[in-house]
Amino acid sequence: MIRERILVIGASGQIGVELTLALRKIYGNNNVVASDLREENDLLKGTGPYVSLDVMNKEMLHVQVIRQNITQIYLLAAILSATGEKNPNLAWHLNMQGLLNVLDIAREEKIYKVYWPSSIAVFGPTSPKQNCPQQTIIEPTTVYGISKYAGEFWCNYYFQRFHVDVRSLRYPGLISYKSAPGGGTTDYAVEIYHEALEEKKYECFLREDTYLPMMYMPDAIKATIELMEAPAAQISVRTSYNISAMSFSPKEIAAAIKNYIPEFDISYEPDYRQTIADSWPQSIDDSVARKDWGWAHEYDLQRMTKDMLENLRNK
């Protein structure tokens, strides 16, 4: 029985905080090492070990992997879609080199498993808009999408050539009350809940009829851990799995909020993020994930809205 020691890179980000806490519940606080360039997130303080780490510094990363006896790496550090368009060179460099550093160390040190998230941003305007399948035309138009698609092939390459057990999910827009979003095109779906409670109104940067695939963070964490705990023989996709829970528009999420805050008012002022959103599918076919390792989501728009508002009110 291997004693797992897990390194989470990017632990202070939107996914990292909640994934680190969930992994600590399963594997024990001291066996999950959180790391980030930023200061330790308040929610992580006192829950387990934390190291300041730059994924771009391969030597420093390598030293930590050996020193901490790491057996699994979760690489979550990335520059997201909207932020990436403001600095394309940096987004490409960080998103690619960070992954290659981790894959190379995983190969050298025979790391047991690696997790690296991809995104629906890999899809482009030529991909099917409805029920976008696992294998389809993929021609991304953002630097984030380009870097994620290239990364998927590197993951597959390291698995095929070096037998590194690297696994991945194409996350949709992720919604959470615990940690702030990180500069993506779907961030409106987090902001809208905060503004509904605080201001009773929200100006949305997407059109009211912009449908996008979304997921509540508890489902994203569940999917990630279930994928990583599935037997290797069940993993048929070594690029990245389509994963989905719900699709909705700003108009629909506003209507769901109005069930709880009747006076809530939404207005629309689309900006550069509208072009990014228009290039992505409106819904995702994740039947391969459901078949291979039994993926099943728990939250729809109504259940998520109730939970989000309850938890934000209690913060």
Catalytic residues, which ones? 144
247: which strand partners?
213
Judge contact between 127 and 136, C-beta under 8 A: yes
Among candidate residues 186, 222, 191, 205, the one with its CA nearest the CA of residue 80: 186
248: which strand partners?
212
Residues 6+ apart with CB under 8 A from 268: 203, 204, 206, 207, 208, 250
Among candidate residues 93, 62, 115, the one with its CA nearest the CA of residue 238: 115
Three-state SS string across the chain, please? CCCCCEEEECCCCHHHHHHHHHHHHHHCHHHEEEEECCCCCCCCCCCCCEEECCCCCHHHHHHHHHHCCCCEEEECCCCCHHHHHHCHHHHHHHHHHHHHHHHHHHHHHCCCEEECCEEHHHCCCCCCCCCECCCCCCCCCCHHHHHHHHHHHHHHHHHHHHCCCEECEEECEEECCCCCCCCCCCCHHHHHHHHHHHCCEEEECCCCCCCEEEEEHHHHHHHHHHHHHCCHHHCCCCCCEECCCEEECHHHHHHHHHCCCCCCEEEECCCCHHHHHHCCCCCECCHHHHHHHCCCCCCCHHHHHHHHHHHHHHC
